[in-house]
Amino acid sequence: MKNEIILAIESSCDDTGAAVFDIQRGLLSNHLFSQTALHQSYGGVVPELASRTHIEKINGVVQAALDKAQVNLSDITTVAVTNRPGLPGSLLVGVCFAKGIAWAQNKKLIGIDHLEGHIFSACIEHQIPFPFLCLTASGGHTALYRVDGFGQFELLGNTVDDAAGEAFDKISKLLELGYPGGPIIEKLAQEVHFKDYFDYPRSDKKTLNFSFSGLKTAVLYDLVKRNAYDLKNKQLLDQSLELKQQVASSFLVCVKDIFKEKLDLAYKQHPDIKAVAFVGGVACNAYLKQQLSQWADTKQLSLFTPRPSYCTDNAAMIAFVAQYKIQQGIFSDLTLDILV
């Protein structure tokens, strides 16, 4: 097979990413412009601001990825782009940019599923034995998959409401701590040694689906009960660091238990699995990684997590999926559309 050099583009939410992947030499570059600082003052991602920023940044990001990889656009054989799921305006920027290059430079084109990118993100640097369980926990998605091969996966459980990362962000907002909530909650919880103070409700043990909106509501009403939150004026009354640390820590421990319970149930139903992958932005959390790794040890399984820059949104994972799609002969044409 002739060598392939892939240019991958990711713009599904608020990160503008580009990566270059050489099928023979591996990943050559992975460049990202993170918009987090721009959205911080709004307490979350503002879709229109995200798409406008992608438009402004995308050619600089793509050029930086090409420069870092020391390849020219003419060396690229296939352009891969996230075309689903995500914010429509954000996805359109990446897809139109990729199509423009593919059309003008006569390159092949592949539309990639962002979630498939996350699922295989731990495979970029690890050889994970199949079949494995994959827990994907990000700002937009929380799901459990059984993965049987490259491109072969089955959804076992999904969130019925909020994603885990979204819950971290909402609890952080409730406590007036800022955005994104995950790293702030983790830091506060660490300060009190991950102690469980409030024993928030765990999950429904009979299903592999997740519900994080219920947990957020439980935290809110527990604060109201303690006279620490004014529901009518949506105001945190107790601003003490002590309370914030205790809520953050109890919440994080509860999320850990929910993840463990779901993995336990999935493992009971799929005893042939050989490993576990924990991916997505929430997998940046060192405490969760360590706790899930301990859980995996008890089952004689290994836990694999990507490095933090492959946990949060990035184009390297899109390039990785594209390389096995190319080997499987799967391409898109210039009618490629977005799916939200």
Binding segment for Zn ion (CB under 5 A), chosen from 85-93, 120-128, 296-304, 308-316, is 308-316
Cα(69)–Cα(72) distance, rounded to whole angstroms? Answer: 9
Taking CB under 6 A as the criterion, the residue among 122, 284, 316, 322 binding ligand KG4 is: 284
Taking CB under 6 A as the criterion, the residue among 186, 256, 276, 315 binding ligand KG4 is: 186
At 200, the amino acid letter reads Y
Taking CB under 5 A as the criterion, the residue among 313, 316, 318, 320 binding Zn ion is: 313
In 3D, which of 143, 129, 146 has the Cα closest to residue 300? 129
x-marked contacts with ligand KG4 along 62-101 as a string, rule CB under 6 A: ----------------------------------------
- 295-314 residues near ligand KG4, rule: CB under 6 A: 312-313
Which residues 6+ apart lie within 8 Å of 11 measured at CB? 17, 54, 58, 81, 82, 86, 90, 91, 93, 94, 97
Q: Is 90 in the site for Zn ion (CB under 5 A)?
A: no
Q: Considering the complex, state which of residue 83 and residue 249 has its C-beta at the smaller distance from Zn ion.
A: 83
Taking CB under 6 A as the criterion, the residue among 94, 117, 131, 139 binding ligand KG4 is: 139
DSSP-derived secondary structure letter, 159: B
Count residues binding ligand KG4 (CB under 6 A). 20
CB of residue 172 to ligand KG4, shortest distance in Å: 7
CB of residue 140 to Zn ion, shortest distance in Å: 6
Q: Considering the complex, state which of residue 15 and residue 186 has its C-beta at the smaller distance from Zn ion.
A: 15
CB of residue 208 to Zn ion, shortest distance in Å: 20
Q: Chain centroid to CA 149: how far?
A: 20
For residues 128 and 122, the answer to whether their CB atoms sit within 8 Å is yes
x-marked contacts with Zn ion along 175-194 as a string, rule CB under 5 A: --------------------
Q: Is 17 in the site for ligand KG4 (CB under 6 A)?
A: no
Q: Enter the tokens of residue 340.
A: 């939200």
In 3D, which of 119, 99, 116 has the Cα closest to residue 108? 99
DSSP-derived secondary structure letter, 75: G
Maximum C-alpha span of the chain: 67
Binding segment for ligand KG4 (CB under 6 A), chosen from 74-82, 178-186, 238-246, 294-302, is 178-186
CB of residue 50 to Zn ion, shortest distance in Å: 13
Which helix (H) or strand (E) element contains residue 143?
A: strand 142-149
Q: Per DSSP, what are the bridge partners of residue 317?
A: none
Q: Is 165 in the site for ligand KG4 (CB under 6 A)?
A: yes
Between the two ends of the chain, the Cα-to-Cα distance in Å is 34
Q: Enter the tokens of residue 324.
A: 């096995």
Number of residues written out for the chain = 340
Binding segment for ligand KG4 (CB under 6 A), chosen from 17-25, 163-171, 215-223, 260-268, is 163-171
Regarding beta strands 108-113 and 78-84, do their DSSP bridges make them parallel or antiparallel, or are they unpaired? parallel
Cα(162)–Cα(254) distance, rounded to whole angstroms? Answer: 15
DSSP-derived secondary structure letter, 175: T
Q: Considering the complex, state which of residue 78 and residue 136 has its C-beta at the smaller distance from ligand KG4.
A: 136
Taking CB under 6 A as the criterion, the residue among 87, 102, 282, 296 binding ligand KG4 is: 282
- 130-159 residues near Zn ion, rule: CB under 5 A: 138
Which helix (H) or strand (E) element contains residue 156?
A: strand 152-158
Binding site for Zn ion (CB under 5 A): 138, 313
Query: Which residues sit at the interface with ligand KG4, rule CB under 6 A?
Result: 13, 138-140, 165-166, 168-169, 180-183, 186, 280-282, 284-285, 312-313
